[in-house]
Structure 1
Amino acid sequence: MFKNEIYLLAAATALIVIILSLMLIYLVYRKTFEIKTRAQIEQMKKELEPKLLTYVMEQKWASALRVDSKVKKRALEELLSSLASVLQGEELTRNVARIADHQLSGYYKTELKSRLWSTRMNALFHIDIFSISSLEKDILVLLHSRRPSAEERHHCYRILASFNYHGLIELISNDPDGVSEFEYRHILYRINRNQYDQMVLSFYKFNDALKYAILDCIGMQKRLEYTPFLESVAEHTSGECKIRALKALISVGHVKDVNKYLILSKSREWQERMLAAKMFGVVRDKSLIQTLVELMHDQSWWVRFQAGSSIRKYPDGEKTLLSIYQNDSDPYARDMAWEWVNEGDGYTFDNNGLV
């Protein structure tokens, strides 16, 4: 009985040793193969680089630039990626895109059909970098032929936005699993004026995440032409949508009639009162000073803080804040005035005034 246990233990040990040895052999082989492949790629890059630069810089097509193996494709891919990251100028960027389209589009078309997620994502990454618009249909096939991952779908949407694909709005607004505000913003950063116009026309049909992303992007990109749209949204909506529209108007830095927003200073929502104070600091209309002084007495610290910030932006803002500090009976307003005057460039004061 004891001998049988020893034999079983020895057999198990031998099996483990064999398995570990095979794994070691595989890892050594794989590492050796990777080192060899990397050396081949680096050598090929040295051979391709002069020919590639000749075309990109001088637009002289090098007939010897034949990319007919996977190693050559990898080498060209790395060279083009490096060029795309450093080159400036529309013509040079177009030349890089032409080479990638001519030499690598077939390679990426095959990779998009791979069963490996990492391979498909790598293809999408480089299609995006090189703007290979000839693969638009293949990207649509990837979206519709099977169940792609969320990462693939979102990357496809970003690429299609860059290609100005006409059906993009329908795709992103009807995504089966939904798209986050963050991803929507990445997509919207790339769309053109025509697509923006379509978004604005269909705004109220969209889900909240897409609505918020549209408003945020208009503000962050300071699209002045959509000011009437933002004002309409701010006037006819409530809650978060209204807040986002007001923030966008403030970022754009222009409103048609600031007096329309005076009512916000009396809003029940402290966020709206705070945004009113911020807007009045952007517009800098002297008639708004008294409203800002009143907001310095608001029950919300954030509203008082923003009112003080806005007052300080006016030509005589420091004097107004000093007057509040010295003469106002509200201790909270006085504290905020003290804070903002001492935030001034080179300004400080004591009970006797500015020093």
Structure 2
Amino acid sequence: MLTHELLFLSILTLSLVGILALLLGYLTIRKTIEIQKSKKMEYYRGIYNPLISSILIEGSFSRKLNPDTVLQQKVIEQLLSRYTKVIEGEVEKERLSSLASMYLSDYYQKQLKSKKWSIRMNTLYHIEDFNMINLTESVYQLLNKKRLSHQELVHILRILALFQFRELFELLTTKYHELTEYDYRHILIPLETKNFDQYVLHFHNARLPLQKAIIDVIARKREVSYTTFLEKIFSNYSGEIRIRALKALAEIGYVKKSEPYLDLLYSEKWEERMVAAKLIGSLKEKSAIPRLIELMHDRTWWVRSQAAQAIIQFTNGKEILGTILESSKDTFAKDMAWEWLHKGV
């Protein structure tokens, strides 16, 4: 009996040793392959980097830059990714986009069909970074994929927006209703004015998340041309949409007449008092200074802070805050005045 147990243990030990040996061999071979791959990539980087640099700076293409393997394409991808972080000129960016389109288009079309989510997502990021407009149709076709993650969907729509895809408006207004406000904003930001204005015209028929995103993008653009639109939204809507329109006007810093907004400094809603203070500060409406001083004593911290920020934008703003600091009996007002007097010091 003991002999059988020893024999079993010996066989088990030998089996484990054999498995460990195979595993070690596999890891060794894998490590060797990775080292060889890394050396090859470093070799190609040494060849391709000066060629790509010359193309981006001078615009002269070279026949030596002719990748015919996946490894060589990966090297070009890595080098172009580095350049996207450092080049600033429009001409250089166009050359980089042309390079990517010339040498990576076929590779990316295959990658977009990969069953692996990570490969498809990384490819989408590169297509966006390299501004590969020639792959617009390939990116659009991904929307037909049955199992599409939410993150993948939003990124596809954002790329279509970046490439000013004509059918995007119909997609966002008739098909993809499950998107969040954040999703819509992320997608709309790259749109050029003529394409973005479609959504402005559609505003009254849009779902609430899309309406919020439209206003937020306008606030980000800070273009005076949208002032009339925002003032109409402010006048005709209520609740959060009304507040957002007011915030956007404050970001732009311009309204046709300041009188309607001066009354908001007395609003019962603290959000309206706060945003109105921001807008009046941007407009530098001197007649509102006494009320802004009163708002320094408001019961809401956000209102006090915005009132102080508005006051300091006036020529004599620091003097006003200094007076509040010295003479006010309200501890909260004094603290806020001190804070804004010392910001950036």
| Per-residue deviation, 1:47 | 2.1
Matches within 5 A, 1:153-232: 153-173=153-173, 178-232=178-232
Give the equivalent residue in structure 1 for 2:78. Answer: 78
Give the equivalent residue in structure 1 for 2:269. Answer: 269
CA gap of 1:326–1:60, structure 2 versus 1, over 3 A, is closer
Structure 2 gaps, min length 5: none
Give the equivalent residue in structure 2 for 1:33. Answer: 33
Q: Secondary structure at the match of 2:341?
A: coil
| Per-residue deviation, 1:164 | 0.5
Question: TM-score, with normalisation over the residues of structure 1?
Answer: 0.85
| Per-residue deviation, 1:324 | 5.8
| Per-residue deviation, 1:18 | 4.0
| Per-residue deviation, 1:123 | 1.6
CA gap of 1:207–1:3, structure 2 versus 1, over 3 A, is farther
Deviations 1:265-299 (A, max 9, x none): 23232111111122222211122123324434533
- Alignment check: 8 A CA contact 1:216 1:248 kept: yes
CA gap of 1:20–1:256, structure 2 versus 1, over 3 A, is farther
- Alignment check: 8 A CA contact 1:325 1:335 kept: no
Provide the rounded CA distance (Å) in 2 between the counterparts of 1:35 and 1:259.
Answer: 72
Give the equivalent residue in structure 2 for 1:288. Answer: 288
| Per-residue deviation, 1:176 | 5.1
How many correspondences in the alignment?
343
- Of 328, 333, 338, 1:336 maps to 333
User: Which amino acid in the other structure matches residue 288 of structure 2?
Assistant: L
Provide the rounded CA distance (Å) in 2 between the counterparts of 1:145 and 1:137.
Answer: 14
Give the equivalent residue in structure 2 for 1:352. Answer: none
Instruction: Calculate percent identity across the aligned residue pairs.
Output: 36
More deviation in 65-74 or 302-311? 302-311
Give the equivalent residue in structure 2 for 1:142. Answer: 142
Structure 1 gaps, min length 5: 347-355
| Per-residue deviation, 1:40 | 0.9
User: Which amino acid in the other structure matches residue 187 of structure 1?
Assistant: I
| Per-residue deviation, 1:56 | 2.8
Give the equivalent residue in structure 2 for 1:60. Answer: 60
User: Which amino acid in the other structure matches residue 333 of structure 2?
Assistant: M
Provide the rounded CA distance (Å) in 2 between the counterparts of 1:223 and 1:13.
Answer: 76
| Per-residue deviation, 1:315 | 3.2
Give the equivalent residue in structure 2 for 1:256. Answer: 256
Q: Secondary structure at the match of 2:85?
A: helix
Provide the rounded CA distance (Å) in 2 between the counterparts of 1:46 and 1:256.
Answer: 60
- Alignment check: 8 A CA contact 1:321 1:338 kept: no
| Per-residue deviation, 1:175 | 6.3
Provide the rounded CA distance (Å) in 2 between the counterparts of 1:308 and 1:244.
Answer: 21
More deviation in 182-191 or 92-101? 182-191
Provide the rounded CA distance (Å) in 2 between the counterparts of 1:312 and 1:337.
Answer: 14
Question: TM-score, with normalisation over the residues of structure 2?
Answer: 0.87
User: Which amino acid in the other structure matches residue 111 of structure 1?
Assistant: Q
CA gap of 1:278–1:106, structure 2 versus 1, over 3 A, is same
Give the equivalent residue in structure 1 for 2:309. Answer: 309
Provide the rounded CA distance (Å) in 2 between the counterparts of 1:177 and 1:68.
Answer: 43
CA gap of 1:159–1:295, structure 2 versus 1, over 3 A, is same
- Alignment check: 8 A CA contact 2:297 2:333 kept: no
CA gap of 1:256–1:35, structure 2 versus 1, over 3 A, is same
Deviations 1:142-198 (A, max 9, x none): 121322222222221221111111122333456658334334333222110112101
CA gap of 1:306–1:97, structure 2 versus 1, over 3 A, is closer
CA gap of 1:3–1:229, structure 2 versus 1, over 3 A, is farther
| Per-residue deviation, 1:4 | 6.0
CA gap of 1:267–1:112, structure 2 versus 1, over 3 A, is same
Deviations 1:1-24 (A, max 9, x none): 776666666555555444444333
Deviations 1:305-343 (A, max 9, x none): 332332343334455556667777xx44x7415641574
Provide the rounded CA distance (Å) in 2 between the counterparts of 1:14 and 1:235.
Answer: 84
Work out whether 1:100 is the aligned partner of 2:107. no
Provide the rounded CA distance (Å) in 1 between the counterparts of 2:248 and 2:300.
Answer: 22
Deviations 1:85-141 (A, max 9, x none): 222211121111112111110111111111122221222122112111111111111
Deviations 1:336-355 (A, max 9, x none): 15641574369xxxxxxxxx
User: Which amino acid in the other structure matches residue 153 of structure 1?
Assistant: L
Provide the rounded CA distance (Å) in 1 between the counterparts of 2:297 and 2:24.
Answer: 74
More deviation in 212-221 or 254-263? 212-221
Provide the rounded CA distance (Å) in 2 between the counterparts of 1:71 and 1:324.
Answer: 67
Give the equivalent residue in structure 1 for 2:48. Answer: 48
